[in-house]
Structure 1
């Protein structure tokens, strides 16, 4: 066992967009603090290094999905996975964080010692099997929300009879040749609507098979407004304007869907109808639920609709009866022949990267605690848990989290405090998870592993950028719920 004996001031788990962004804030505000990042993969980027399926891209515009302190200067609105990974790496190197990252380590356990006022984190090197132990004064989890080892894939009746390949996008084979193959993609979410147009040109035919439709919204993939402004304004100013504009538009869209669901449903469906015309049945794009009961699926430049209209792709709304040797037999009796079946059936949620948390040797399961200000965890000292938005770009919340932590650290230094732990008052807790309002299958399957929330601030999770901005950046750091000593 190798032990890193000198305690770090801050240890961050996860070196994706959230982890690197949080580290950048702290490194900039506290140049004398010792910081390290732990990353299970062999490079930076997290999600954007893990997923390698065709067309992998952001589903939020990069002006608001990227870092506020690191302008995304391309006029391309939705960026592909490799571009986002390069952006994360470039940012980390600018802030001298690449050399502070320990790669290839899977976190196992973390225990807080009240006597030592330190976290002890046990990790395992996945190549050698060797354990490495880190100690730190403050621990920050930026591990995202899903299991990186496997996605969610139901067992399909008769799948052992299928003679072709069955693939989950999370484990995409690097050498997969789908040229002139018949492909069926099972799913209707962001991954499915990305795969269909990305693969359509090469395949013989590709079909998206969905049990029920999602709301699909076409978005121009070139920011013409920023392009025009860029002719006479500095790039940093153009980026700031685009970021503010896009955040406002996203928020307005979400609020409108919640406030006027029937009107917004008509609007969203009319946009699709204009794109597909009379040749494609609108039932494939007419969900049974209201807008934003699940996330909207964004398609750049309407590429999904173009693929369908080209004849190289099609869409089926039906239930699977069973797999056959040749493909999939539907409940309607129709058989979809396939050489490759892609199960774009969602993620398996996981908190803290699967790490077990304890305080003085006593387990502190995350789902038994409430979340304070959407960031700190009840009854666990010196721990931050960065969880982004479900109704806006994930990194908007991560950015606020990093800035709040800098405020917290400054306050603790000024007050000569070393430990901060949220403690709730009796009667505050609700038996409600922080994302229970979303109806997406992968969320509902895992709602019991999520932290709980309370009836009121600071224990209520609003998923509201404006309210969070005020709470995390303007409200006083010290309050009766945050115990410091």
Structure 2
């Protein structure tokens, strides 16, 4: 679901578009997975998926830059219910093909409405339903859907407006500037000098893909990131497939293997960060060019997993460095010039194309205007209920995945909890559920959406002011690790912090 909706003129007529039991916002990995779980557990419930984009896939539809691929293994990024049969690290096109299989197998396409941008959601306690206003971009009409339950699966960043820092002299640059989120389909980099600003997963994915044909690619970073170079295909997958093991078994075995690795890495990064740092540094060292300054260019200022570790399968990024097709400059940008960029140290970097792999802007629920009984919802003053619902907002759940693990691991857990919640509502004869602070929580401090000591990537830190908060106790906390939540969420008390009517 694309963020930053444009408001329609106030005299725009609103057409009634019908009622469904559940309205899912977003037709990416989260929305498609949520629809599967809904349909499997409640086959008689009516539902729709609304998405502002022209096709399915969410981030995999938006991002089409060269080499785009997963930065998590597909055995855990893939759904629990749908075995992954390809390599551990997959290209964007392969992931879209996997999602297409789910859509076809579950007959979900008939439930999706594309180019439907949600702009407002109004809850009425009297009617016990949401009225959701949508701009239908192809026709210019504004539609109103109603639903008993709203499930926000729109992702966490603004698809339409990527993060672009302001630099001096950008207007004088005579070449092309492009952001990976807005990659032109006809951009030809053959024989051209390219600067990629950034050091995260996007930069390290893009560089080896374009270095094959570009004259030279320079990664210009303000500070380094952590990298890890696993094989494209896990050796255990190779062994299992050689034994002609059923794909369902291979999927489950590899899924558990990767989860175990993630759990160890998350625990050890907190308990023994120096150990993980040394492991990552030493795993990179033999893959780098002789004499490469690993301390300057590849030693981050933060502890491991305080920001995401960029995956470079088979070390392809390092191979581009060894081949001399790419290089790293670690410095601040002083200004753009007519022919490139001048760094703070005075180095002149010439370029025909500058790629600003500078990240994205986080978005709170797609920047949709929410109201509850006529009162606007200020999410910055609300707290999460177990990272699934929001205080004082009835009949609304959301999906937000993990930073340190595959996003989809949490989707499956959240979907299980939401389906269990609906069953609980049925048992109680309730038509409304709302998270409300308990009497003892009245003076609970509102803590940042993300504790910087826990996770402090730039896109998180610069967006905290628009996001909801968390408390200092359960059930008002989130950002837990998968190892914890796979035990906590299936057993979560559905009467703790939730009020039913």
Band the TM-score falls in, shorter-chain normalisation: over 0.9
1:60-79 correspondence runs (5 A): 60-74=72-86, 76-79=87-90
Deviations 1:205-261, CA, capped at 9 Å, x for gaps: 111000110011111101221221122421101100111110110111111111111
Structure 1 position 192, deviation (Å): 0.6
Q: Of the candidates 439, 444, 454, which is equivalent to residue 461 of structure 2?
A: 444
Deviations 1:153-200, CA, capped at 9 Å, x for gaps: 112111111110011111101100110000000001111111110111
SS in 1 for 2:229: strand
Report the equivalent of 1:404: 417
Q: Matched residues in 2 for 1:277 and 1:440: separation?
A: 28
Moved more, 425-434 or 171-180: 425-434
Report the equivalent of 1:125: 136
Structure 1 position 385, deviation (Å): 1.5
Report the equivalent of 2:485: 468
Q: Of the candidates 253, 263, 275, which is equivalent to residue 275 of structure 2?
A: 263
Structure 1 position 2, deviation (Å): 5.7
Q: Of the candidates 218, 229, 233, which is equivalent to residue 222 of structure 1?
A: 233
Structure 1 position 4, deviation (Å): 4.3
Equivalent pair of 1:18/1:142 in contact (CA under 8 Å): yes
Structure 1 position 435, deviation (Å): 5.6
Structure 1 position 483, deviation (Å): 0.3
Query: Structure 1 residues 392 and 435, CA, compared in 2 at 3 Å: closer, same or farther?
Result: farther
Structure 1 position 348, deviation (Å): 1.0
2:44 is aligned with 1:32: yes
Q: Matched residues in 1 for 2:184 and 2:264: separation?
A: 40
Structure 1 position 6, deviation (Å): 4.0
2:221 is aligned with 1:205: no
Q: Matched residues in 2 for 1:95 and 1:2: separation?
A: 32
1:326-475 correspondence runs (5 A): 326-425=339-438, 426-434=442-450, 436=452, 437-475=454-492
Normalised by the length of structure 2, the TM-score is 0.94
SS in 1 for 2:93: helix
1:96-175 correspondence runs (5 A): 96-175=107-186
Q: Matched residues in 1 for 2:484 and 2:318: separation?
A: 36
What are the ranges of 5 or more consecutive residues in structure 1 without an aligned counterpart?
none
Equivalent pair of 1:23/1:402 in contact (CA under 8 Å): no
RMSD: 1.3
Q: Matched residues in 2 for 1:444 and 1:24: separation?
A: 33
Q: Matched residues in 2 for 1:152 and 1:277: separation?
A: 32
Deviations 1:408-443, CA, capped at 9 Å, x for gaps: 111111221111111013123433214643221111
Q: Matched residues in 1 for 2:239 and 2:367: separation?
A: 46
Equivalent pair of 2:230/2:311 in contact (CA under 8 Å): yes
Normalised by the length of structure 1, the TM-score is 0.97
Equivalent pair of 2:71/2:201 in contact (CA under 8 Å): yes
Equivalent pair of 1:272/1:285 in contact (CA under 8 Å): no
SS in 1 for 2:470: strand
Equivalent pair of 2:52/2:117 in contact (CA under 8 Å): yes
Q: Of the candidates 26, 37, 51, which is equivalent to residue 14 of structure 1?
A: 26
Query: Structure 1 residues 218 and 277, CA, compared in 2 at 3 Å: closer, same or farther?
Result: same
